[in-house]
């Protein structure tokens, strides 16, 4: 019998398949070629028939030119850093698409002249935080704090409590960030306690500002004290408050999470925050507060190095003016309504696996409200499903607790319930499980 491997087609002949030609125009020749080369290797091993090479290569093409894949976040963590923090609202996604081409980001179409970059985004932010005299947007929260420190405290001192020396993640630390732009830190208080008198005693003519950092990813409980913004505002130096989470106003479900409006009303000179945590928008850093100071930061030479692009401006504006963001929707979800969804999914899976709905506790995530449990509901499944679900299409990421896989619904878009259920079914039907 003839060895089928001798009929392995030539790469160019496969690439000439009209479906692959079309795909190359859409996602690029490199990715299409990669799929063809991988398929031909399987063909040489006798795992794909020569007549099936083109079909197999087409079936294994990536759907877009990004290798990032959409994931269903069933972890119960609303702002999950490893899953890209805040998912954008559909209004923000549409805004991204519009802004992707040539757009009037710095041009007045009325006059034909140059316009202030991102004017409408800044206006939307100012409208959302009336307590801020000035507003500016940079690349992320760390850039906002870095710019403030560089502009106000290079070669000078920043007073910061020991209990607020936060490591934000991936090995990056706020105190090192401040020092990296030339500020000298003056640490006050102890790990668990600091008093107004500690700050007052540390202030000299070299002090640029006192910094209050929200411990957004840990809790110190017990014999603790910190000084409220209201009290710091009486000190004879500016007060910069890094709230981190980006809550613009107090949120009823997160009573201990600092927000920009309250900090400014209480006398903060400047507030810095992230755009992609509780605000629910794109990665961005917000600078809010004293108008003259914000203007100075905006005009600082380094401001150019942390400038946001048109995509960020578009998505941020849509987040501020559009319908509630997915993060806001998750925060508003009640346990009974999540339980109804969990029961529906569990009932539809019960015939194929051991599935049931259970109450669970979600969390905001590294982006804020440490220690706060958000009452939620989950579908409890056999733990062995965790890996195949993570490797499935779409990938579903849950978490294993007490020997069971939990698919928590707090951060799952209601529109994704069906896709998630179908993903579980597919895993159960696949011969490998």
Ligand X SMILES: *Cc1c(COP(=O)(O)O)cnc(C)c1O
Q: Which of 136, 214, 341, 406 binds ligand X (CB under 6 A)?
A: 214
Residue 362 makes contact with ligand X by CB under 6 A: no
Give least dist CB 383 to ligand X, A: 32
Q: Are strands 172-173 and 167-169 parallel, antiparallel or unpaired?
A: antiparallel
Task: Give the residue with the Cβ less far from ligand X, 175 or 398.
Answer: 175
Q: If binding is defined by CB under 6 A, does position 89 make contact with ligand X? A: no
- Selected from 17, 157, 242, 408, the binder of ligand X by CB under 6 A is 242
Binding segment (CB under 6 A) for ligand X, from list 9-17, 20-28, 208-216, 305-313? 208-216
Residue 216 touches ligand X, criterion: CB under 6 A: yes
**Residue 319 makes contact with ligand X by CB under 6 A:** no
Q: Is 125 in the site for ligand X (CB under 6 A)?
A: no
Q: Does 148 bind ligand X (CB under 6 A)?
A: no
For residue 242, report the phi and psi dihedrals to the nearest 5 degrees. Answer: -95, 100
Decide whether 141 or 289 has the Cβ nearer to ligand X.
141
> Which one-letter DSSP state was computed for residue 257?
S
User: What secondary structure, in 3-state letters, does 54-103 show?
Assistant: HHHHHHCCCCCCCCCCCCEECCCECCCHHHCCCCCCHHHHHHHHHHCCCC
- Whether 417 and 341 have beta carbons less than 8 Å apart is answered as yes
User: In DSSP terms, which residues pair with 207 in a beta bridge?
Assistant: 157
Q: What number of chain residues touch ligand X (CB under 6 A)?
A: 12
252: left (phi over 0), alpha (psi -120 to 50) or beta: alpha
Footprint on residues 278-297 left by ligand X (CB under 6 A): 285
The number of beta carbons lying within 10 Å of the beta carbon of residue 216 is 26
- In the complex, the smallest distance separating the C-beta of residue 281 from ligand X, rounded to whole angstroms, is 11
Measured from the CB atom, the residue of 145 and 409 that comes closer to ligand X is 145
Cβ 178 to ligand X shortest distance, Å: 11
Closest Cα partner for 362 from 402, 403, 407? 407
Q: Which candidate, 248, 243, 249, places its Cα nearest to that of 215?
A: 243
- Contacts with ligand X by CB under 6 A lie at 140-142, 166, 168, 213-214, 216, 242, 244, 274, 285
């Amino acid at each position: 019998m003839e060895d089928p491997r001798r009929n392995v087609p030539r790469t160019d002949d496969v690439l000439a398949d009209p479906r692959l030609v079309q795909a190359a125009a859409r996602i690029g020749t490199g990715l299409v070629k990669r799929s063809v080369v991988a398929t031909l290797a399987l063909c040489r091993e006798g795992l794909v028939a020569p007549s099936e090479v083109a079909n197999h290569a087409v079936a294994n093409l990536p759907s877009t030119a990004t290798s990032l894949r959409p994931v269903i976040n069933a972890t119960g963590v609303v702002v999950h850093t490893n899953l890209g923090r805040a998912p954008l609202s559909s209004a923000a996604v549409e805004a991204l698409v519009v802004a992707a081409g040539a757009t009037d980001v710095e041009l007045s179409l009325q006059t034909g002249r140059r316009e202030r970059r991102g004017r409408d985004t800044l206006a939307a932010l100012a409208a959302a935080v009336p307590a801020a005299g000035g507003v500016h947007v940079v690349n992320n929260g760390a850039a906002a704090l870095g710019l403030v420190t560089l502009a106000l405290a290079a070669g000078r001192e920043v007073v910061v409590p020991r209990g607020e020396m936060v490591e934000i993640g991936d090995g990056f630390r706020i105190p090192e960030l401040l020092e990296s732009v030339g500020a000298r830190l003056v640490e006050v208080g102890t790990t668990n306690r600091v008093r107004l008198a500690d700050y007052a005693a540390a202030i000299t003519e070299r002090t640029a500002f006192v910094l209050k950092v929200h411990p957004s990813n840990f809790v110190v409980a017990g014999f603790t004290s910190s000084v409220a913004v209201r009290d710091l505002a009486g000190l004879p130096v500016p007060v910069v408050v890094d709230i981190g989470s980006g809550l613009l106003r107090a949120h009823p479900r997160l009573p201990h999470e600092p927000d920009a409006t309250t900090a400014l009303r209480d006398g903060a000179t400047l507030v810095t925050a992230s755009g992609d945590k509780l605000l629910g928008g794109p990665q961005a850093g917000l600078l809010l507060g004293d108008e003259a100071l914000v203007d100075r930061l905006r005009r600082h030479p380094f401001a150019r190095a942390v400038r946001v692009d048109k995509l960020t401006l578009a998505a941020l504006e849509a987040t501020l003016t559009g319908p509630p963001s997915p993060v806001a929707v998750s925060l508003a979800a009640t346990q009974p309504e999540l339980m109804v969804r969990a029961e529906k999914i569990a009932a539809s899976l019960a015939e194929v696996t051991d599935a049931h709905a259970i109450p669970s506790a979600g969390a905001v995530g590294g982006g804020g409200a440490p220690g706060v449990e958000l009452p939620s509901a989950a579908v409890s499944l056999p733990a062995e499903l965790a890996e195949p679900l993570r490797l499935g299409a779409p990938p579903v990421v849950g978490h294993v607790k007490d020997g069971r896989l939990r698919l928590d619904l707090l951060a799952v878009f209601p529109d994704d319930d069906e896709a998630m259920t179908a993903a579980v079914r597919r895993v159960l039907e696949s011969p490998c499980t």
